Structure 1
Amino acid sequence: MAPTKKKKNEFAINIKEIDESKNVVATYNAAYESEGILVSYPENKSGFGRTVLNAFLPAGYPHSVTSDYLEYQVYVSYPRIVGGKTVLNTSQDSLQAFSSSIAGMLSSRAVLEGIGVGDSQASPTQALLLSVLQESLGRIATIIFAHRLGSSLEPECKMYRLLADIFNDSAMILACLSPALPKSLRVAVLAVASTLRSLCGVAAGSSKASLSAHFAKVGNLGELNAKDSSQETIISLLGMLTGSLVISHITTKFATWATLILLLSIHLFTNYLAVRAVSMRTLNRQRANLVFSSCLHAFKNKDSGMKLLSPEEVSRQERIFEKDGVLRSYDFRLGRNDIRGYCYIGVPLQKILSLFHRRVLHVEISPSPRLFEFPALLEVYKNEGYIMMCNIIAGMRPEYYIVVKEGAENRDLLKGWLHALYHTTLWAVGRKEGESVIEGLERTREEVEGMLESYDVFGELERAGWDIKTGALETRSGTRVRIG
């Protein structure tokens, strides 16, 4: 078949070149049988202001970052460690940046007074020894904090991001308080302040890494962090310049404390707004409670369909500080959120075995299981990636212990959490008289399995925008079991 003959004026080549923001930067056209290619550039409508902003925003903004990036950046500031000391980096929001910088200057001035600047009787050696003590305690606290809570920093990055600012602001208050104390007590207070700053550095640095990974959509994590540094640099400079002018007029104790409390209140409030603006896509324990509550509501009322909450909807309802391991059932129509029990995931197998050995003095709902019943529990979960046992005692909230099997995926952990929430919420529905604990777990496991298949829960989670492959349920370094 002969090729269709093109008209002489028809373009044989029509190519548009776009940047990371989907803006057309050049157009290439060539007419049929033409020997040249016409290149045209669109008129630059961004102007000088946009050019300057591009130096501080990630390439391809806003398409290269998540929708909550800008709102978070407007409020937040990052503490960082420089030369063994915590320095407060600030970002785009001028009010928050200036409040942090000026408060930091007031704190630094108090520390200098505390170590004897201006005191003729003060010794340089004493000041040096105090500095060594502060640094030593701070570094020891960093090691202990990272060891004990390192695994929970990523799943609970929003909580630790705000907690870092609480640590930092508390350290500022202690530093400002130190000059009014006796020298012996002043040393202890400054040491505690140094420890809090170190804890702030660990919590803020780790949470910043998790949040930056959340904001970066197209593998631009390194470039995003570089632009964050540019934002921090320019606003820190403006904050210090403004603070230098303001702090010279704050000389009395009353003015110092009034200004400090006002600035720290602004600082904490803006950072609270920042973490509330973030919509994480991973399911930690609290977000799993919120999302799975809608599953239980649909299953309980035998609804034909089920609509799961999106990450944005969950972020508006989740708490920044939540009890660790709590199983909370939400009723969105009545605005209720009741604590049903507690669940601990990734625990050693010994934790479950202790429930078969222990003699409980309380009046129990079901007889305490005996060790010879343990194989029956293994049989219930033989095709699952986890093993769960519950401790149900009259007058107390039940506790659930989940042991994770080797090779288990995050879906298995999510299913285990859903099973615990379902059991503590609806386990009495359809319960037969004399049903043992293990029989109740088997029945509810089968019902959860049916719910997952009927409503395609994991598929609905992905369609709602959730990342179900990345684990965020374990807040401690857990163990795995291999069943032979």
Structure 2
Amino acid sequence: METPRRPESWVEISESVSRLCSFDAGGGGGVSVKLIQDNRMAHDKLVDSFLNKFFPSGYPYSVNEGYLTYTKFRALQHFSSAMLHVLSTQVYDLPLRKQRLTQESSSVAAWGQEWIQSQRVGGYLGMAVVAARATRLPIYSSFAKEGNLSDLFAKGEAISTLFNVMGIGAGIGLSSTVCSTTQGKLIIGPLLSAVHIWGVVQEMRATPINTLNPQRTAMVVADFIKSGKVSSPAELRYREDLLFPNRLIEEAGSVKVGQPFRRVLSPRLVEELRSTFPNEKFLLTQKSDKAYMVLEQSATGEDALRGWLVAAFASEMERSGAGPRDTVLNDAYQKMESVFPMFVSEVKSRGWYTGQFLDGNHSRIAYAKSE
């Protein structure tokens, strides 16, 4: 009778750690791992254990640039937020009459806020988008590599939970010491709120978003016009203006996109522009020192890049006195056609996604089919 073959085994050595690995005897394809030797310092063991539990496998090579910065500020945000939540529960310790007065005042303030919101719905949209939990998945997607989005999401939420728990503990400690008085609350409360908001801002700035919106498109085109190079999402993230995203960039042609069609173009001008830009999904016209671009409903990021390049080239030609505006626009279009294949190839290789153009609630057009 033939003796059963023993499962193959091997030793894996990584720095100061040795592990004995072998295939399971049952033949199921599993691998068993046994630690043989570990000469690491206690500090290194703790750090590695923390990284294994709260960072995606293969970190830092399995994530895009900026993940550590994003994680640090996200942890700070959750820590300060949890402390604020604990301190806010101290309202129930108020005397009964004072609590009643506060309740009625809050009701009046809430009614006023609801009325203002109903009159100015658009003003609250930005806050809702920033605060919504639905933003987590797109943010994690911007850091994911090699199909590890689920691992990234799970480890990121684990860190959030950890610092929430730590924040609750710190908040309880503050509420019984520094914040046990009204003066303490008046100092610590605004300070924690400022830290929380600052953490959110830095967290968003650290995220390399790779989709094209008006500001990012203008910055990509401006860098290409100035240096002949295309910047990556990671290179643009700290230059993006989060407070005033609609500012115009002169080097990119000072393009204003998404204005109502009827306000920027006349019927005669539409026919002229459609002949100037045949088979394009954008119309572009220049007025004073601005360029107005209107996109078709089905326009993508590539169409927006084409329009922005035309505007940037036209602006550059006008500054150099190349001729009348109509001639300049036509020459700029021809120049765009010659450089666009190389340009869009570089844009994609730098990590930008051109399948969509995110222009928010801006106006687009759809031509009616002629019968």
Give TM-score, length-normalised by structure 1.
0.59
Q: Classify 1:391/1:39 alpha carbon distance in 2 versus 1 (closer, same or farther; 3 Å).
A: closer
Do the aligned partners of residues 406 and 322 (structure 1) sit closer, same or farther apart at CA in structure 2, a change above 3 Å counting? Answer: closer
2:361 maps to a residue whose letter is R
User: Displacement, 1:387?
Assistant: 1.1
Task: Find out whether 1:321 has 2:243 as its counterpart.
Answer: yes
Q: What's the offset of the Cα at 1:64?
A: 4.3
Selected match of 1:282 from 178, 190, 211? 211
Give per-residue Cα distances to partners, 1:325-361, cap 9 Å, x unaligned.
522438xxxxxxxxx634123x4432333xx4xxxxx
2:149 matches 1:258: no
* 1:16–1:349 distance in 2 versus 1, CA, 3 Å: farther
1:296 aligns with 2:229: no
Question: Given that residues 327 and 421 in structure 1 are in contact (C-alpha distance below 8 angstroms), is that contact kept between their aligned partners in structure 2?
Answer: no
Q: Provide the rounded CA distance (Å) in 2 between the counterparts of 1:142 and 1:236.
A: 33
Question: CA offsets, 1:113-161, max 9 Å, x none?
Answer: 7xxx41347659x94895697499569949975x6776xxxxxxxxx6x
CA–CA distance in 2 between the matches of 1:40 and 1:104? 45
Aligned to 1:378: 274
| 1:401 alignment partner AA | Y
SS of 2:357 mapped into structure 1: coil
Task: State the Cα distance separating 1:415 from its structure 2 match.
Answer: 1.2
With over 3 angstroms needed to count, the CA separation of the structure-2 counterparts of 1:422 and 1:139, relative to structure 1, is farther
Distance in 2 between the 1:372 and 1:440 partners? Answer: 19
| Amino acid in structure 2 at the alignment position of 1:449 | E
- 1:68 corresponds to: 66
- Shift in CA distance, 27/430, structure 1 to aligned 2, threshold 3 Å: farther
| Counterpart residue identity of residue 471, structure 1 | F
Alignment of 1:108-187 (within 5 A): 108-109=89-90, 112=92, 117-120=94-97, 127=103, 130=106, 134=110, 141=117, 145=121
The one-letter code of the counterpart of 1:118 is P
Contact 2:211 2:354 in 1 (8 A): yes
Q: Which amino acid aligns with 1:217?
A: K
Question: 1:104, CA displacement in angstroms?
Answer: 3.5
Deviation of 1:212 after TM superposition, in Å, equals 2.3
TM-score (norm 2): 0.74
Structure 2 counterpart of 1:99: 80
Q: Could you tell me which amino acid in structure 2 is paired with residue 119 of structure 1?
A: L
Task: Provide Cα deviations, 1:25-74, integer angstroms capped at 9, x if missing partner.
Answer: 95669xxxxxxx99774748696764565443345544543232222011
Corresponding residue number in structure 2 for 1:458: 344
State how far apart, in whole Å, the 2-side matches of 1:236 and 1:246 are: 15
Matched residue, 1:8 = none
Given the superposition, is the C-alpha separation of residues 42 and 14 from structure 1 closer, same or farther in structure 2, using an over 3 Å criterion?
closer
One-letter code aligned to 1:464: R
**CA–CA separation in structure 1 for the residues paired with 2:180 and 2:334:** 70
**d(CA) in 1 for partners of 2:139 and 2:364?**
26
Aligned pairs (5 A) from 1:30-429? 41=33, 43=35, 50-51=48-49, 53-59=51-57, 61-76=59-74, 91=75, 93=76, 97-109=78-90, 112=92, 117-120=94-97, 127=103, 130=106, 134=110, 141=117, 145=121, 199=127, 203-249=131-177, 250-298=179-227, 306-324=228-246, 326-329=248-251, 341-345=254-258, 347-353=259-265, 356=266, 371-392=267-288, 398-429=289-320
Question: 2 CA distance for matches of 1:275 and 1:219?
Answer: 22
Distance 1:143 1:28, change over 3 A: farther
Cα distance in 2 between the residues matched to 1:275 and 1:388: 32
Structure 2 CA distance for partners of 1:431 and 1:420, relative to 1, 3 Å: same
Q: Which amino acid aligns with 2:335?
A: E
Change in Cα spacing, 1:373 to 1:471, as seen in structure 2 (3 Å) is: closer
Whole-angstrom CA distance in 2 between matches of 1:27 and 1:327: 61
Check the 8 A contact 2:92/2:99 in 1, yes or no.
Answer: no
Q: Which amino acid aligns with 2:222?
A: S
Return the offset for 1:239. 1.2
Q: CA deviation at 1:275?
A: 2.6
Shift of 1:107: 4.0
Residue of 363, 366, 370 corresponding to 1:481: 366
Change (3 A) 1:245 1:292: same
Residues 389-444 of structure 1, C-alpha deviation per residue, up to 9 Å, x if partnerless? 2222xxxxx33322223543320111112222333343343522xx2x44432222
Q: Which has the higher helix share?
A: 2
- Contact 2:314–2:329 (8 Å) recurs in 1: yes
SS of equivalent residue, structure 2 residue 249: strand
Can you give the 5+ residue segments of structure 2 that lack an aligned partner in the other structure? 1-7, 13-18, 39-43
RMSD of the TM alignment (CA)? 4.2
Contact 1:280 1:315 in 2 (8 A): yes
Q: Tell me by how many angstroms 1:385 deviates.
A: 1.8
Paired letter, 1:314: L
Change (3 A) 1:206 1:122: closer
Give the drift of 1:459. 1.0
- Give the residue type in structure 2 aligned to 1:387: L
* SS of alignment partner, residue 417 of structure 1: helix
Counterpart code for 1:440 = V
Q: Identity rate of aligned residues, in percent?
A: 23
Tell me the CA shift for residue 457 of structure 1: 0.5
Amino acid at match of 2:263: K
